[in-house]
């Protein structure tokens, strides 16, 4: 006996989802509240920041604090911003190039011990940086790289990290191997196949690596703290922490610096969100 399809009224369906949307909006508001509060304080006049009762949203918008931020002689935040941007772009370039190239070798080139070597690479993810922190510091000290941006940028060009190699490898394995055979028939070398065939197809995985690397490097505090001690060489995260310790009475400047440090990661994340999700999904299709 055939069963009749269950029909749900659109009004009932819409009414069912309204409470769910309200709950989601409530928790989203809780998560966004600290960011909105921080940004509102950064554009408030000084007298309104500590007003009683508390003013939640600015009655008057002013950007004078942002102008003062880049005019402090003891705190060259413009230089800190450029240092952070240079380090972030260098790390992204190194990871995208080296991690994708290593992943191409693990996914497309067959050689003895390939799987065992790949597992060895993945096992390095279990080693925290604190374990190798002292040997790394001694190495860069012997090279004379302390108080330069080189210790923060150069290591990304040597593999890019096990996680990013794994991410690229999983994505490359979803690309049909027949494309490699067709390129090989046309006379492409292995590097030609990587550059002309595989790399252009890795857009979602590349955006994922870019977003992860940007967020990780831009907000990195530990590595600059270890390798950068000279004034003027610090990154934005390190300079913000030092600024809060020394100038804790200038609350309006703390709000402004934190807002400036927060805006670029938000822009990068929302700009690449669609590709980021697609890359994470595609990277887990094949083992």
Q: For residues 39 and 21, is the Cβ–Cβ distance under 8 A?
A: no
Q: How many helices (H) and strands (E) does the chain have?
A: 16, 0
Q: For residues 73 and 179, is the Cβ–Cβ distance under 8 A?
A: no
Angle at 249 between CA 41 and CA 232, to 5 degrees: 90
Angle at 126 between CA 120 and CA 131, to 5 degrees: 110
The helix, strand and coil proportions of the chain, stated in percent and rounded to the nearest 5, come to 70, 0, 30
- Report how far apart, in Å, the C-alpha atoms of 126 and of each of 90, 96, 130, 155, 163 are: 25, 22, 12, 18, 11
Give the span between the Cα atoms of 217 and 235, in whole angstroms.
10
Q: What pLDDT is stored for residue 147 in this prediction? A: 92
List per-block mean pLDDT (blocks of 10 residues) for the chain, which spans 287 residues: 53 66 87 85 81 77 81 84 94 95 93 93 90 92 93 93 92 90 90 92 89 92 90 87 75 83 86 68 50
DSSP-derived secondary structure letter, 198: I
Q: What pLDDT is stored for residue 287 in this prediction? A: 44
Q: What ranges in 109-231 are assigned the alpha helix state H?
A: 114-123, 129-143, 150-153, 162-172, 178-185, 190-193, 199-201, 203-218, 222-227
Region of 234 on the Ramachandran plot (φ > 0 left; ψ -120 to 50 alpha; else beta): beta
User: Which domains does the chain carry?
Assistant: 11-62 (no CATH), 69-282 (1.10.3720.10)
Nearest to 218 by CA among 90, 87, 98: 87
Q: What pTM was computed for the model?
A: 0.82
Burial of 6 by CB count in 10 Å (0-12 exposed, 13-18 middle, 19+ buried)?
Answer: exposed
Q: What pLDDT is stored for residue 245 in this prediction? A: 79
Give the span between the Cα atoms of 170 and 205, in whole angstroms.
9
Q: What pLDDT is stored for residue 3 in this prediction? A: 53
Give the span between the Cα atoms of 96 and 211, in whole angstroms.
11
62: which residues sit within 8 A by CB, 6+ positions away?
43, 44, 45
């Amino acid at each position: 006996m055939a069963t009749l399809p269950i029909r749900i009224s659109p009004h009932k369906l819409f009414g069912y989802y309204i409470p769910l949307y309200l709950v989601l909006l409530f928790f989203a508001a809780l998560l966004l509240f600290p960011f909105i509060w921080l940004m509102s304080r950064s554009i408030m006049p000084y007298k309104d920041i500590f007003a009683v009762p508390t003013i939640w949203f600015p009655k008057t918008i002013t950007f004078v604090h942002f102008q003062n931020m880049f005019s402090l002689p003891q705190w060259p935040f413009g230089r800190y911003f450029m240092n952070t941007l240079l380090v972030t772009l260098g790390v992204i370039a190194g990871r995208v190039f080296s991690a994708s190239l290593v992943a191409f070798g693990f996914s497309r080139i067959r050689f003895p011990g390939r799987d065992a070597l790949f597992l060895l690479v993945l096992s390095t993810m279990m080693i925290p940086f604190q374990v190798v922190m002292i040997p790394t510091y001694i190495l860069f000290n012997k090279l004379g790289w302390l108080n330069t941006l080189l210790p923060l940028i150069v290591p990304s060009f040597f593999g890019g990290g096990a996680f990013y190699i794994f991410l690229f490898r999983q994505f490359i394995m979803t690309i049909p191997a027949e494309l490699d055979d067709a390129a090989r028939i046309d006379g492409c070398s292995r590097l030609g196949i990587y550059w002309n065939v595989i790399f252009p197809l890795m857009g979602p995985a590349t955006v994922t690596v870019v977003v992860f690397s940007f967020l990780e490097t831009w907000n990195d505090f530990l590595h600059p703290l270890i390798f950068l001690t000279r004034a003027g060489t610090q990154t934005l995260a390190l300079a913000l922490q030092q600024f809060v310790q020394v100038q804790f009475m200038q609350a309006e400047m703390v709000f402004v610096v934190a807002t400036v440090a927060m805006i670029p990661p938000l822009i990068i994340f929302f700009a690449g969100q669609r590709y980021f999700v697609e890359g994470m999904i595609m990277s887990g299709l094949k083992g």
